[in-house]
Chain A
Amino acid sequence: MTVALPEQRFPGRILPVTLPAGPGGSPVTVGGQNALPCTPEGERPNLPAVGMEVRTGAEELPPSLRSAIGELAADPVSLARRCVSEWGARFLFLDLSLCHPDSGGRSVADGAALAREVLDAVPAPVIVGGCGDEEVDARLFPAVAEAAPRPVFLSYAEEKNYRLLAGAALAYGHGLVSWSPIDINMAKQINLLLADLGFPADRVIMDPLTGGLGYGLEYTCSIVERIRLSGLQGDAMLARPVLCHLGDAWKAREASDASETSWGDADRRGRRWEETTGLACLAAGADLLVCRHPGNVARLSGAAWR
């Protein structure tokens, strides 16, 4: 028997956004779909892309990451190369936490120089994240924007700093990640503020803040679903690709505590924790995922069919 299957058709379409690559690299384009994830209908010219984070500040790695990338932890440039050439990351998220007063306190010039080095070393698209200290970032982003030899995305613009970031990005042709704290209204508000400054919409991706598995992930999933539904229903300010940074998954005790033997092997558990977080984000509609475990690039990419 042939059953008439329901389809959800929408008037809107997610704006395609391209993360530009360096010479010899492949740019990453996401967006362009006019349908919900995990459904057969509609057009979806671009699949979700999985990238890897390259951290630069001093930090203690959970067991699962220590065994996978521990030897490269102090060498971000080599780590960046391996992420792309060996583990299949389609883009990199370079986190300049080395400039944070609590995790190295290196100068803004050092941060910008490192960004430049990574951009020269790998051809993949790069998103450059700040160090998280408001005052340092206010100097760091303009320095990175100027030092970058090719277009990158700066992460992230929020209500407090959007003028500064938009100015730096506009001056040198970079894109922006617009950030909001798990709130669909604030997600739209920051995009409206950027639009008021004349920032080009096709150079903005949204980061709605990803809670880790067990620690607020469900809120993120619902916000991503709602952003996607609103965008498809015609709200242009929300019809944008969504990035989910899975870093918070590693902050969960379950992802790192080796002493709880009843929870199983900490190495496998940590990897699974990040993988599960990423899969839930994909099911909700994420277009870009940033993971840290090399093994999860392939696993998450394998589920990025939708």
Chain B
Amino acid sequence: MPDAGAGVVRFFPEGIDVPLSPGDSLLAHALRAGVPLLAPCGGESRCGKCRVGVAGAVKGGDDPGVLSPAERAAGIRLACRCVPLSGKVSVTVLPESRPARLAAYLDGKDMAGDGPFLPLQRAAAGCRPFGVALDLGTSTLAGALVDLSDGAVLARASSDNPQMACGEDLISRVVFAEETPGGFEFLRERLLRGVENLVARLLSRTDLRGEVTDVCAAGNTVISHVLYGLDPSPIRRPPYRPVQKEYPVATGRALGIAAAPDAQWRIFPSLGGFVGGDVVADILASGMHRDEEVSLLFDVGTNGEVALGNRDWRIACSSSAGPAFEGGDIGCGMRAYPGAIESVRIDRATGVPSFTVIGRGRPAGLCGSGILDLCAEMFRAGLVDRAGRFARRGDAPLRSTDRGEAYVVVPADRSATGREVTLCEADLKSILRTKAALCAAAEAMLRAVGLPLGSVARVYVAGGFGNFLDLRSALTIGLFPPFPLPRFLPLGNASLAGAIGALRNRRRWKEALELAPATLYHDLSSDPAFMELYQRALFLPHTDEEGYRAALAGTGAAT
């Protein structure tokens, strides 16, 4: 029993209480309380995003490098560094530190979904059979409820992946699992509970009564391993091989998921350590595995993946691109929630920005499409040179900060957070690295098989971000190789679309099982050409800039 002096930490606005555990950070308390709190760096005090307002006896978390004197005076602290001492401590999670939810991550196109309705499960006697399609992403869990008696999608829902608290990227999470006592169990538990909650939410959104009989889940290899109860550690070490690539059908009960205990769970097979079943589902939805012509597919998410091929052969890789376009690694980056700047234009003459905000409220930060636009506009306006260095010009709102030169998109008095929304040189370098990794991954695969750019007939862009990105901005900064604009086809959340497709038609699930082993996993870390292509792409738009000029001018050099 805690003694009388034992304290309590209360989280607002939820009003959840949790006993004060001396020595633990507020972030650890939040984790225990189940309070959503952004900590993209996994509590390493790198990102400065876990801001909370604090009242009560605390120490630490007032890093002067991250928080302004005014913020500190107002009781704002970094939750990962701030330790409650005693008594009653009130913690308010600030809006920008709160993960929100948006349907943007749900819509996806199924380019190959024209087949007959042949559900995995024939209607069982007595109740209506439901199928659940899942896209288990590094940052977001998305799902759809499918009526297996007619194939209708009854509901869609998404939530943040609760594993975010254990690190924003996959490697951080694997390290967390390895180094924290009970880390793997904790990581798995969070995933299972997150999945349960998502399934429960889906079921709550329909008035129909039924029973979940089948689940199709697409996820990266680490998440698939954790879901299946396999140790993901081997994936991060050379030769970067997963424990297994296929996951035999199991019941929810066997996996430890209470939400659909009797359902048959089908996890999309993985291609390799860093290319998972989500990419198999992408390919399935794109239909590139049925075409004679060669297609290229990008999945722009927290990790960038690229697949290349046609009906005979396919090759796929992970670009090890960072999460810049999900708002990670960027000072004022955020995900595509209300308050995020989603598009930006810069006046060529004055260098002054104008922008649009999701939800039309005051801007709080920049989401992926806004970041992409901003970079492209700064480059077009001559505020950034090809190497990503800022250049002062005219009345452009550029100023020096302790993070280097920064471009001020929103002044402090007009933002939702009371802090400026800026993009600094270090942010731009991070974006440059992300885009270079993605572009170079595609080029490395084309080179590995010996195909010129012109032989690619279609370029699919999957991922929630893909629905909203401005392709001209993308080509202006060289996010992709210079294909003519008409060749691009945004797919949205193709992983989820692929999983839905597999639920609706058992032949397509078979296709997925067949296409995976016939798709070669290309390990870029052992491709000697990759580092050089990466260096070549680490420029705006690219060191071989001629092709981009032609692609943007619409003359189609890559035809």
Contact = CB atoms under 8 A, between A and B. Distances in A.
Direct contact of A and B (CB under 8 A): yes
Interface of A: 159, 163, 183-186, 188-189, 192-193, 196
A185 B387 contact: no
A193 B386 contact: yes
A185 B532 contact: yes
Interface string B512-542: 0000000000000000000010011011000
25 contacts: A159-B387, A159-B389, A163-B391, A183-B535, A184-B532, A185-B532, A185-B535, A185-B536, A185-B538, A185-B539, A185-B543, A186-B535, A188-B543, A189-B386, A189-B387, A189-B539, A189-B543, A192-B386, A192-B539, A192-B543, A192-B545, A193-B385, A193-B386, A193-B387, A196-B386
A189 B539 CA distance: 8
Contacts of A159: 387, 389
Contacts of A184: 532
A185 B533 CA distance: 9
Contacts of B387: 159, 189, 193
Nearest to B387: A159
A1 to B, nearest CB: 37
A196 B545 CA distance: 12
Interface string B18-42: 0000000000000000000000000
Chain B contact residues: helix, strand, loop or mixed: loop
A192 B385 CA distance: 10
Nearest to A183: B535
Which 9 A/B pairs are nearest by Cβ-Cβ distance? A185-B536, A185-B535, A185-B543, A159-B387, A188-B543, A189-B539, A189-B543, A193-B386, A192-B386
A183 B543 CA distance: 12
A185 B544 CA distance: 9
Contacts of A186: 535
Interface string B466-509: 00000000000000000000000000000000000000000000
Contacts of B536: 185
B535 A196 contact: no
B385 A196 contact: yes
Nearest to B546: A235
Interface in B366-415: 385-387, 389, 391
A192 B548 CA distance: 14
A196 B386 CA distance: 9
Nearest to A159: B387
Contacts of A189: 386-387, 539, 543
Contacts of A192: 386, 539, 543, 545
B429 to A, nearest CB: 12
Given A159-B387, A189-B386, A189-B543, 19 more contacts: A159-B389, A183-B535, A184-B532, A185-B532, A185-B535, A185-B538, A185-B539, A185-B543, A186-B535, A188-B543, A189-B387, A192-B386, A192-B539, A192-B543, A192-B545, A193-B385, A193-B386, A196-B385, A196-B386
A189 to B, nearest CB: 5
A192 B549 CA distance: 14
Nearest to A195: B386
A159 B388 CA distance: 10
Interface string B71-110: 0000000000000000000000000000000000000000
Nearest to B385: A193
A163 B539 CA distance: 17
Contacts of B545: 192
A189 B538 CA distance: 9
A193 B385 CA distance: 7
A159 B536 CA distance: 14
Contacts of A183: 535
B95 to A, nearest CB: 39
A161 B325 CA distance: 30
A266 B107 CA distance: 73
Contacts of B532: 184-185
Nearest to B536: A185
Most buried by B among A159, A184, A185: A185
Contacts of A188: 543
B444 to A, nearest CB: 14
Nearest to B533: A185
A163 B391 CA distance: 10
B149 to A, nearest CB: 57
Contacts of B539: 185, 189, 192
A163 B386 CA distance: 12
Nearest to B391: A163
A186 B386 CA distance: 12
A195 to B, nearest CB: 10
A138 to B, nearest CB: 15
A157 to B, nearest CB: 12
A294 B411 CA distance: 62
Nearest to A197: B385
A28 to B, nearest CB: 29
Contacts of B386: 189, 192-193, 196
Nearest to A192: B386
A209 B387 CA distance: 19
A196 B389 CA distance: 13
A43 to B, nearest CB: 26
B462 to A, nearest CB: 29
- Central interface residue in B385, B387, B389, B539, by most chain A CB within 10 Å: B387
B423 to A, nearest CB: 20
A186 B531 CA distance: 13
A196 B540 CA distance: 12
A159 B532 CA distance: 18
A297 B237 CA distance: 52
B511 to A, nearest CB: 40
A188 B538 CA distance: 12
A228 to B, nearest CB: 17
